[in-house]
Structure 1
Amino acid sequence: MAIKTLEELFVHELSDVHSAERQMSKALPRLARAAENPQLTAAFETHLEETVGQIERLDQVVELLGIRLKRIKCAAMEGLVEEGKEVIDSIEKGPVRDAALVGGAQKVEHYEIAAYGTLCALAKQLGYDDAVKLLKATLDEEKATDEKLTILAESGGNQRAAQA
């Protein structure tokens, strides 16, 4: 079905990000196990808890607006998850793998920041003010996670990888 209205676009984008978050909720435990640095493991575990909350928020938006999500699989997240698997399979556990895992996680965060920013803008245009608040809360969490990953990399993670 072709998307013809802004509301249809909103539902499509919401469905896509819901799929993305579900995929991440399955991938994060694997990433946590693959990390050597305990801080990185903890970051992945914390983000898993946040992701579960983000899915709940998306479900609240669906209920609030009385819409039905489309059954779609987020191809972008599927590709990012696959890249993470390739990192785990091709790089020995240690600082270099951790640096690659941080980079991959930041790709995910940047994708999610773009997706939630778009959803916020669409919801605002459509007058879905309560939905905007829920989506903005998740957008803020994604930005904070990205910042935490940057700090983790810059506070020695990349230096350890360079010395490995």
Structure 2
Amino acid sequence: MPVPSDLSVRRDASSRRRNRFGPWLALASVLTVALALAYWVWQPATLRIAVGPAGSDDQALIAAVAKAFDARGGAVRLVPIETDGTLQSLNLLGAGKADLAVARGDFAMPADTNSVAFLRRNFVVLWAPAARKGAARPKIMEIASLTGRRIGVVGLGDANLNLLRVILAESGVNP
């Protein structure tokens, strides 16, 4: 009868050990994969929202909404991206670096985006000069009275000018 060598005894012991832990190792692997999958499925959707400029009312509003979403622990999380203003916010949206953007309605939206909600109100102030002593009182009492008159626009960029054009066109005045 052949005498078992040390090597064959070691092989038998290690194979028995492997066979004994094999089902537990498979179960642990399956549970790990299931937990990772559950974590991935139940993780909230994160939406990047471009808003600016820093310290603006828009940024404060979006920060408050993002904080409320986080506190609820819901299915959506907002991550504000600080921008220099509306134009940069729209550029980030168009480049795919943001999922949402806070912008004025008179700016051109990127071609492949859809409008979800309007969260902004626009204030328009029109000033007419006061009558000088001895001169006839100006008759600018409504927007239609601006026809043929010179109008000055205060503000940076073309946004305020575009808004004025929209207001004039809607009021029947040729911009």
Which of these two proteins has the greater Rg computed from alpha carbons?
2
More strand by share: 2
Q: TM-score, normalised by structure 1?
A: 0.29
Ranked by relative contact order (alpha carbons within 8 Å, sequence separation 6 or more), the top structure is 1
Q: TM-score, normalised by structure 2?
A: 0.27
More helix by share: 1
